[in-house]
Amino acid sequence: MTIRKVLTTPDKKLRSRSRELTMPEMKSAKTKELITDIYETLNDGEYGVGMSAIQVGEPLAITVVMIRPTPNRPNLNYYNQVYFNLKILKTFGEKKPMWEGCCSVLDDNGNLLYAKVPRYERIKVKYCNEIGEICTATVDGFLAHVLQHEIDHINGILFTDLIPITNIVSQEEYRKAQKSGY
């Protein structure tokens, strides 16, 4: 188990498209080790709830979601899932903004940056799970928001690409906004 270095902007690798894995690759010891490392890397930080392999320099369509209470969202329920080759099949309704940050998008002092990013509240996704089953699921709320963020990573897109730069705020400004109910 290794805590991996998380790539941050402006690293060009973050802009690359991740490739899908074959079934043998999904089940390989190397992939299992990478997944364990991603869990360890997420666990090392207090804010992250999801991470794609590209964020640790591996251009593979692997996403680890580890939702847990964070200082910014203390009421979250625990949820762990590994997604291979994650894709959106269908979106529902209008996009609604929700606060998000990213451990790959930091300010000059190494602090997370935040913005309200419009995402669909409900999506239908297709993926392979850790035992190689092809799955579809319709998810909503926070999980839908997290999956859309991670799918963007797989496609070389950062949340800062989806909003005007003037909407990006510091960690301190984000905390003030949270306290004021914004």
- Domain-embedded: residue 147: yes
Q: Indicate whether 2 belongs to any domain.
A: no
- Is residue 159 within 8 Å of 102, Cβ to Cβ? yes
Q: Where are the alpha helices (DSSP H) in 65-160?
A: 141-154
Instruction: Look at residue 6 and tell me if it is in a domain.
Output: no
Q: Is residue 23 part of a domain?
A: yes
- The CATH code of the domain that includes 145 is 3.90.45.10
Confidence at residue 70, expressed as pLDDT on a 0 to 100 scale: 75
Q: What's residue 69's pLDDT?
A: 80
How many other C-beta atoms are found inside a 10 Å radius of the C-beta of residue 71? Answer: 10
Determine the residue type at 8: T
- pLDDT tens-digit profile of 42-92? 988 877 899 999 999 999 999 999 998 877 778 888 999 999 999 999 999
Assigned domain for 7 exists: no
Q: Which amino acid is at 171?
A: Q
| pLDDT of the residue at 76 | 84
Residue 87's alpha-carbon distances to 31, 60, 66, 136, in angstroms, are: 19, 13, 18, 10
Structural domain contains residue 5:
no
Residues designated as active site: 150
62 close to 21: Cβ distance less than 8 angstroms: yes
Ramachandran angles phi, psi of 127, nearest 5°? -165, 170
pLDDT tens digits along 86-143: 999 999 999 999 999 999 999 999 999 999 999 999 999 999 999 999 999 999 999 9
Q: What would the pLDDT profile of 3-45 be if each residue is shown by its tens digit?
A: 999 999 999 999 999 999 999 999 999 999 999 999 999 988 8
Please choose, from the candidates 90, 88, 98, the residue with its C-alpha nearest in 3D space to the C-alpha of residue 119: 98
What are the φ/ψ torsions at residue 115 (nearest 5 degrees)? -165, 155
Structurally, how many domains does the chain consist of? 1
Query: What pLDDT, on a 0 to 100 scale, did the predictor assign at position 34?
Result: 98
> Is 25 part of any domain?
yes
C-beta of residue 83 within 8 angstroms of C-beta of residue 63: yes
Domain-located, residue 64? yes
Full domain range(s) for residue 98: 12-179
